[in-house]
Structure 1
């Protein structure tokens, strides 16, 4: 049985300083669902990943890493004639990195409802999806909705991370409609502080809502109680991937049957590991490390 089934777009990411002045860069992989799958697998959970990559070297690297980390890639698809998506991440002193997307028409945007294995999702312990995948186009959005529908029919708990990226949506209104609908379907909701208004109708008492507050830490409202945890105190190398790692840690602790404060604590531990490494996922801990 799969503990967590997830789906999304795994990407290449090139990180550097200001490109016009740089002669060196770092090539890695990223994607919120990709990071989550690796993190959960390292902690001993059985995780399956659905997505599409191109028949190129980046696509091969994605599959090699996922297989090497013990993630189930039986449902991964390789698309001929289209590239694996790429991000350019320019680090800037004292400011958030500038991210340029090279993913229009990439393999990840070709994910469709026909790729969604209804039976496998119905047999999973949890489905985890993000608003980022839903923003990639109509077919990926319908694929996410199909997966959510399959999980609901089988009474599989649904975890949803809002992951709002305004540059990927045609309009704020469309984003609000889709993200709120997905949030309403979820049992476990992860939302950044600045995304709360986007999904306000879904912030109801019966839903477990985790709010990611950046430097202020995180909080969760569960069973009509609120719990808080401060941000990790650790040397910062790169903050990208911190929220994705936190989500993975929280879900891992939930799968282990831990209390909400303990879930927050594990989320913070994985977030600390992520920000202390240049990679979104390479520094994530194993169960023994915890």
Structure 2
């Protein structure tokens, strides 16, 4: 039984500290990767139970991922294994500006072959939040259908659906297809969490308030827009149908590695939703987790425990933000 469920492609992350090719790298630290996996780890470190839905290969990468999940008590009961495809992996080359180069080895991966019938065996007992992204949906038509069906079943079981579009244009045939497919999933979600530029792309609107209205009019309950490193804004409607907004600044940190910041943000937002925090404290927590993550060379290693998070919020200066 888990409070949070997610579906995605967990990967083994090989870290190189210089601009070297995969074959030249001889001794690489190994970590975990995958945007949904990062969110799962973040929610887990904040003290919430998590279940992961995916397909992994019967290979050392798949074994490493399952072992890691079992070690930190992420439920693996909804994971399939296959001998017909390999588990995905990635090589991250750390660059001085904090924006790393990532090389993927995931084409035709086991996760990309996940089919909708996996949902038949999913245990929704105790699940309060289903978190999905646009990445897994983009891998193949079958993964899009799988994610869509999982959303429908989760909602039927009373779960809240959070959706981070996390666009990957190269995985779609066209930008138009990506926008249409993403907005179909957004319309099924309760909480939509785009970055500002993503919201502009998918809604065709520029102002954060107009973007929020676009999705609130679809029936989304909360629209949370990440405003880069400055902070974030949450939009919802009150009982009178009026738009209500909350804007909260982020924190002053030294950026080392930008990957995983949005995933950290999502884990903070999800755990805040589970704990019933108000909009201001939800954004404060989400901003804090995202800020902490960028201070670490990894996709998820910097994600904080509850004690680390509370100390960071209490001690770290804030930026200024406005819409």
Q: Fold match, TM over 0.5?
A: yes
Distance 1:22 1:230 in 2: 40
The 3 A distance-change label for structure 1 pair 118 and 155 is farther
CA contact (8 A) 1:121 1:127 kept: no
3-state DSSP of counterpart to 1:116: helix
Say whether 1:214 aligns with 2:228.
Answer: yes
Query: Which range moved further: 194-203 or 173-182?
Result: 194-203
Query: Which range moved further: 230-239 or 137-146?
Result: 230-239
Say whether 1:280 aligns with 2:312.
Answer: no
Say whether 1:158 aligns with 2:161.
Answer: yes
Distance 1:117 1:66 in 2: 22
Query: Residue 203 of structure 1 aligns with which residue?
Result: 215
TM-score by length of 1: 0.92
The 3 A distance-change label for structure 1 pair 273 and 94 is closer
CA contact (8 A) 1:222 1:260 kept: no
Distance 1:88 1:98 in 2: 8
Query: Which range moved further: 121-130 or 19-28?
Result: 19-28
1:89: Cα distance to partner? 2.5
Length, aligned pairs only: 290
1:144-193 CA-to-partner distances (Å, cap 9, x unmatched) read 01101112333422111101011221211111111000001111011011
Unaligned runs of 5+ in 1: none
3-state DSSP of counterpart to 1:120: coil
Query: Which range moved further: 202-211 or 109-118?
Result: 202-211
3-state DSSP of counterpart to 1:39: helix
Query: Residue 314 of structure 2 aligns with which residue?
Result: none
Query: Residue 104 of structure 1 aligns with which residue?
Result: 107
Say whether 1:34 aligns with 2:37.
Answer: yes
Compare CA radii of gyration and give the structure with the larger one.
2
Distance 1:100 1:190 in 2: 26
Q: Which residue of the other structure, out of 33, 57, 61, is the alignment partner of 1:58?
A: 61
1:193-218 CA-to-partner distances (Å, cap 9, x unmatched) read 11113432852255311111222222
